[in-house]
Chains A and B, each alone.
Chain A
Amino acid sequence: SQQGEEDPQALSIQEGENATMNCSYKTSINNLQWYRQNSGRGLVHLILIRSNEREKHSGRLRVTLDTSKKSSSLLITASRAADTASYFCATDANAGKSTFGDGTTLTVKP
């Protein structure tokens, strides 16, 4: 069964706008990770947030984690056409075995 579920399933925005994706999960976690996957490629790790952290930044990425609501969000600021990809959250609730959601497909229009 899927632990993490992303919302929305698909998102289309104009270049320069911000993109926000959400991830909800069901059980307590050790950490939550976000990945990007370009079409036909492997997943690329973007950012990991531990269960005792509330917010992390990496460049144009901001991730928040609310363990009381069992949810996380990924914000991409000032989006670019190159950000077009699928984004997945993954939760580690069991000693390093991460469970992935079905992903959010982001399209950034030039």
Chain B
Amino acid sequence: DAGITQSPRHKVTETGTPVTLRCHQTENHRYMYWYRQDPGHGLRLIHYSYGVKDTDKGEVSDGYSVSRSKTEDFLLTLESATSSQTSVYFCAISGGDSHNYGYTFGSGTRLTVV
């Protein structure tokens, strides 16, 4: 999607290995989010960021960490991947300070932990 890219698009990794997913935006938006989507379900918030070096946990943050050293990049790390973390991961950005803006989503990263 325009202005936001995720990498990699697909990844297969082994249980116990660390994995980092990258979200890059060119919109200069303040807010960035990581969600996971599991089959037949909506999205669940993992972590979000409201500025450089400012991050906070979402509802399913256990086993995940994030970093945001630049406005344009938001990294999600699975510290020690488990099979329960097999999912599709979406990054989203939101502009403005009023929170009355919709999200723009990336195309997703399909992660398989074997």
Q: List 19 A-B contacts (CB under 8 A).
A: A4-B42, A30-B100, A31-B100, A33-B103, A35-B103, A41-B108, A42-B1, A42-B90, A42-B106, A44-B1, A44-B105, A45-B103, A45-B104, A50-B100, A90-B43, A96-B94, A97-B45, A99-B45, A100-B43
> Do B107 and A95 touch across chains, with their CB atoms under 8 A apart?
no
- The reply to whether the CB of A88 lies closer than 8 angstroms to some CB of chain B is yes
Give, as a whole number of angstroms, the nearest-CB distance from B99 to chain A: 4
Number of interface residues of B (CB under 8 A): 27
Interface footprint category on A: 20 to 34
Known: A96-B50, A97-B45, A99-B45. A30 touches B105 (CB 8 A): no
Q: How far, in whole Å, are A46 and B33 apart by their CA atoms in the complex? A: 18
CA distance A61 to B43 in the complex (A): 22
Mark each residue of chain A from 55 to 68: 1 if its CB lies under 8 Å from any CB of chain B, else 0. 00000000000000
Find the residue from A4, A45, A96, A102 having the highest chain B CB count within 10 A: A96
Q: How many A-B residue pairs have CB under 8 A?
A: 66
Question: Residue A81 at the B interface, CB < 8 A?
Answer: no
Q: Which residues of A contact B107 (CB under 8 A)?
A: 41-42
Q: Provide the residues of chain B in CB contact with A103, threshold 8 Å.
A: 41-42
Q: Contacts of B31 on A, CB cut-off 8 Å?
A: 96
* Top-4 shortest CB links A-B: A45-B102, A100-B42, A42-B105, A96-B99
Q: Does A27 contact B (CB under 8 A)?
A: no
CB-based contact B40/A48 at 8 Å: no
Task: Give CA–CA (A91, B18) in the complex, Å.
Answer: 32
Shortest CB–CB separation between residue B53 and chain A, in angstroms?
Answer: 17
